[in-house]
Structure 1
Amino acid sequence: MASTETGGQARREARPLRDADDLDPLLEQVGSSRVVLIGEATHGTSEFYRWRAELTRRLIAEKGFSFVAVEGDWPDCHTVHCSVVGATGAPEDPREALDAFSRWPTWMWANEEVVAFTRWLRAHNRGLPPQHRVGFHGLDVYSLWDSLRAVLDYLAEHEPEHLSTAREALRCFEPYGESPQSYALASRVVPESCESEVVALLRDMRAADTGPQSGAGALDERFIAAQNAEVVAGAERYYRAMVRGGAESWNVRDSHMVDTLDRLLDQYGARSKAVVWEHNTHVGDARATDMAAAGMVNTGQLARERHADDGVLLVGFATHRGSVIASDNWDGPVRRMPVPQARTGSLEALLHEAGGGEDALFVFPPGQESRNGWSQEVLDHRAIGVIFQLDVERRGNYVPTVPGRRYDALLYCDHTTALHPLHPVEQADTEPEAFPSGD
């Protein structure tokens, strides 16, 4: 239970969070930072998506940020990118591109909140020359087969001399029927894998690097194909590591996402700036959680390490109670589920008690590490992924966290509501059976 003194300090440090103007202190904290990472405590909360979009709009309009990079697949997000920058032949309404997302969990990006943001982004871009238009890109590692097919299509049309290398990679993966789990299990039982074929494909794709393009409208087809090859390589490493357990697969995935972010920053040019949208578990610095003791790194930590001279700002979210979109098993039905009140002694319980149920913004200026107080204490911090089960919530779903070190700012939304997916959802009428949560 938080002490009266701790709660009083949190109450004094709380800033109002009611409308977009209340983000002014956070915009001031951003300053000239080149990379701003904005999290979410769940993958299915409307308020998190809406506040994240509001902050991103201001970063784009007032700070000149160049692109948004999300915890999503490169090929699917590239279709959204083409729509928002007005590429020839792309959907005029980004909703069409988002509605086509088919890999589970579709609701993470195929939802009304992202539709509203991407429509705003397309309208914003319409008044800008192509080289200044703001992009939308996927950072994740899961799209092995879609990315491999995209590489094959590009090489068949533009570089047939490298096509045989890509076909060798495809032939290697074909026996697994586009099932990453089958490939991962096979690589554990049989020493042979597709690693050498993928390395050869990467070598060919990296051999003719086009260099910086400067702007969303200038991302050429070869860069896009080369990034798809990087996804194939990252996915192959990820799925092999996944079956071995431990921290390696997590580290492969987050390292891939930061490598992709770095390639985008290079491609957009030396003055480019990036907004990243991912779960808190990726955005908040792992060194301020128990992840570090488990040998895990994450996007926020790596971004701080790689871009310390450029300026990096990490923004987290938290909620006390409400509802959420999630599932009770992997590939299971999408459901609107209740989020119970945060457990006693957690960060969320502290902020609820300190703020009397009001939403609040907390900004942690540099140098706070030497101070005492709630933001420098280890507090359990709720994290809900695409899998949510109420029994697990009672036993776990909390990450020991030093808030003022994990984040540079925290948006607290006391009572939150479920996201609005484009695809059908079910109402959870019973407590789901036990299953570990994912993010």
Structure 2
Amino acid sequence: MAALPARPRLLALGEPTHGEDVLLDVRNDLFRQLVEEEGYRTIALESDCLAALTVDAYVTSGADAADAGSTPGGADSTPGGPADPARLDDVMAHGFSHGFGASPANRELVRWMRAHNEGRAPADRVRFAGFDGPLEMSAAQSPRRALTALHSHLALRVDASLLPCTALELEDLLGEDDPWTDPAVMGDPSRSVGRTPTAERLRILTDDLTALLDAHAPPPEDGREQEERHRARLHARAATGLLRYHAAMADPTPARLARLLTLRASMMAANLLALAERAPTLVHAHNSHLQRDRSSMTMAGRRLEWWSAGALAHSRLGEEYGFVATALGTLRHHGVHEPPPDTVEGLLHALPADCFLLDPRHLSAAPASAPPAPRPSPWHGYAPLDPAHLPRMDALVYIKHIPEGPKWWPTT
């Protein structure tokens, strides 16, 4: 922290692969230190922003997963005693996306956060957030949850004549969830409902509801109402992002995949910036989502590039955005063995420690005649560091060996 030009409101810690609890254990240790020594109060993961409300309610107020719609962390609520394993199981099953709830390290994070919050005042409790959209690789959610929650919030606070539709009209427009969540849409844009007249009507209603929310500001001193407003703004962002994403799912042109990646990054960045407004936050996700450089990947035989959520957040926050990348040496259970000595990972692998933090500028300042070479990846699930990105990292964590651990992440 002392080496950074400013105290980041968003301190982003990346990882080069998913599914390895050693990396998440390092993250957990860092978060505890940031809470105890630097005043950080929120951790945000690469997980569904709406599902994460279940986790936040549990760690801040002890609420059941079914009660996550109520205000978490209010002045009259606090986690009540040791966590019931069955309730924790439910939170892990419903509070994470992408399979992350199966991680023992994520379970330990949630358990620690709940224990930390016992007996603490609301302002001193740690919070949990997801910053990804309500998306999976194969499908996107229906906008139902986000839109109905936004409408309900406003219906309790503004005159009914100001609402652009009734709750029944909104329910009728949303219809059944199955057409929205059909996984076949990813391979067949013609199956998408994202550009139907009904979907277009929902996009207009979402814009109207969001404008109405922006025009209704609670008193700053009303902490509970401010918390409800933050939640409503999250639902507004999720509804807007989902409807844009579904419209892009219906795009039959070659730009479709690039547009989907761009929209996901924009949703992520909007959620990160909203968190930055509230409190210093540790963010954890894949390096590619948090780096300041453009991200890239190959899908359907095409190279796709887009600005990552980290790059978008950095463009708004400047020095208040910090990025720490993580690199690894071996991942033998996936065929990743000792790195070539002329790569960034190879240079670090020659050092004696098994896990350390360093200033990447020392590596990027290597002689121009022999800059570090890119490391090839023998496994699609692991992304080595790009040496060209070193100058735009604030710090680098290196972990020499990743032993095989519990198999909770799908790798095929």
TM-score range, shorter chain: 0.7 to 0.9
Correspondence list, 1:376-391, <5 A: 377=371, 379-380=373-374
Distance in 2, matches of 1:174 and 1:48, equals 36
> Which one of the candidate residues 65, 75, 88 is aligned to 1:95?
88
Hey, what does 2:189 align to over in structure 1?
A: 185
SS class of match (1:29): coil
Contact 2:269 2:309 in 1 (8 A): yes
Identity of aligned residues (%): 22
Q: Cα distance 1:178–1:320, how it changes in 2: closer, same or farther (>3 A)? A: same
How much does 1:128 deviate?
Answer: 2.6
Distance in 1, matches of 2:221 and 2:328, equals 39
Hey, what does 1:21 align to over in structure 2?
A: none
Correspondence list, 1:20-419, <5 A: 26=1, 28-29=3-4, 32-89=7-64, 93=83, 95-101=88-94, 105-106=98-99, 108-143=100-135, 145=141, 148-152=144-148, 155=151, 159=155, 161=160, 162-164=166-168, 166-171=170-175, 174=177, 176=179, 178-179=181-182, 181-182=184-185, 185-186=189-190, 192=196, 194-209=199-214, 211=217, 220-241=227-248, 244-266=255-277, 268=278, 272-287=279-294, 295-308=305-318, 311-322=320-331, 337-341=333-337, 344=340, 345-352=342-349, 354-356=350-352, 358-364=354-360, 371-373=365-367, 377=371, 379-380=373-374, 392=380, 397-398=383-384, 400-418=386-404
Contact 2:56 2:129 in 1 (8 A): yes
Give me the TM-score of the superposition, normalised by structure 2.
0.74
Larger RCO of the pair (alpha carbons < 8 Å, separation 6+): 1
Q: Cα distance 1:399–1:360, how it changes in 2: closer, same or farther (>3 A)? A: closer
Distance in 2, matches of 1:190 and 1:255, equals 18
Q: Cα distance 1:348–1:202, how it changes in 2: closer, same or farther (>3 A)? A: same
SS class of match (1:380): coil
Contact 1:60 1:66 in 2 (8 A): yes
How much does 1:85 deviate?
Answer: 0.8
Contact 1:70 1:138 in 2 (8 A): yes
| Alignment-mate amino acid for residue 208 of structure 1 | L
Distance in 1, matches of 2:7 and 2:14, equals 20
Contact 2:95 2:101 in 1 (8 A): no
The farther-off stretch of 184-193 and 132-141 is 184-193
Distance in 2, matches of 1:73 and 1:290, equals 22
Q: Which 4+ residue blocks in structure 1 deviate beyond 6 angstroms?
A: 187-190, 212-218
Contact 1:133 1:217 in 2 (8 A): no
5+ residue gaps, structure 2, are: 68-78, 161-165, 298-302
How much does 1:72 deviate?
Answer: 0.5
Q: Cα distance 1:215–1:111, how it changes in 2: closer, same or farther (>3 A)? A: farther
How much does 1:96 deviate?
Answer: 2.9
| Alignment-mate amino acid for residue 17 of structure 2 | T
How much does 1:302 deviate?
Answer: 1.5
Contact 1:77 1:137 in 2 (8 A): yes
SS class of match (2:4): helix
SS class of match (2:15): coil
How much does 1:120 deviate?
Answer: 1.7
How much does 1:420 deviate?
Answer: 3.9
Query: Superposition RMSD on alpha carbons, in Å?
Result: 3.9
| Alignment-mate amino acid for residue 306 of structure 2 | M
| Alignment-mate amino acid for residue 320 of structure 1 | G
| Alignment-mate amino acid for residue 47 of structure 2 | G
Distance in 2, matches of 1:33 and 1:181, equals 41
How much does 1:241 deviate?
Answer: 3.2
5+ residue gaps, structure 1, are: 1-25, 324-336, 384-389, 433-439
SS class of match (1:314): strand
SS class of match (1:75): coil
